[in-house]
């Protein structure tokens, strides 16, 4: 879970052209916390997840890798299984 979260956090942070320091300042946490979240060595609190989503302007589902395109891929895989 946190591995996917960390990769997504880093990708969306970079997409928004924010450094770890800038994101940490916006969140009101230390840069060490942002780094550990991105490495997957710290589990975010629900409050922190909400703040990250708000600041990066993305949904919590996107942050955890639960996007609509993946749901379509899963549906497609399920459909292929049902054909057999």
Q: Return per-residue pLDDT of the chain as tens, 84 residues.
A: 458 999 999 999 999 999 999 999 999 999 999 999 999 999 999 999 999 999 999 999 999 988 654 443 444 434 444 444
Q: Residue 58: how many CB atoms within 10 A of its CB?
A: 17
CB 24 within 8 A of CB 30: yes
- The model carries a pTM of 0.75
| CA–CA distance, 26 with 9 (Å, rounded to integer) | 14
Q: What is the DSSP string of 16-80?
A: TT--HHHHHHHHTS-HHHHHHHHHTSSPPPHHHHHHHHHHHT--HHHHTT--HHHHHHHHHHHHH
Give the chain's domains with CATH numbers.
2-83 (1.10.260.40)
* Environment class of 57 (CB within 10 Å of its CB; exposed 0-12, middle 13-18, buried 19+): exposed
């Amino acid at each position: 879970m946190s591995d996917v979260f960390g990769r997504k956090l880093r990708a969306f942070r970079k997409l928004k052209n924010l450094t770890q320091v800038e994101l940490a300042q916006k969140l009101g946490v230390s840069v060490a916390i942002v780094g550990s979240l991105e490495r997957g060595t710290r589990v975010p609190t629900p409050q922190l997840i909400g703040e990250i989503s708000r600041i990066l302007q993305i949904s919590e589902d996107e942050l955890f890798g639960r996007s609509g395109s993946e749901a379509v891929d899963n549906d497609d895989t399920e459909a292929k299984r049902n054909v057999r």
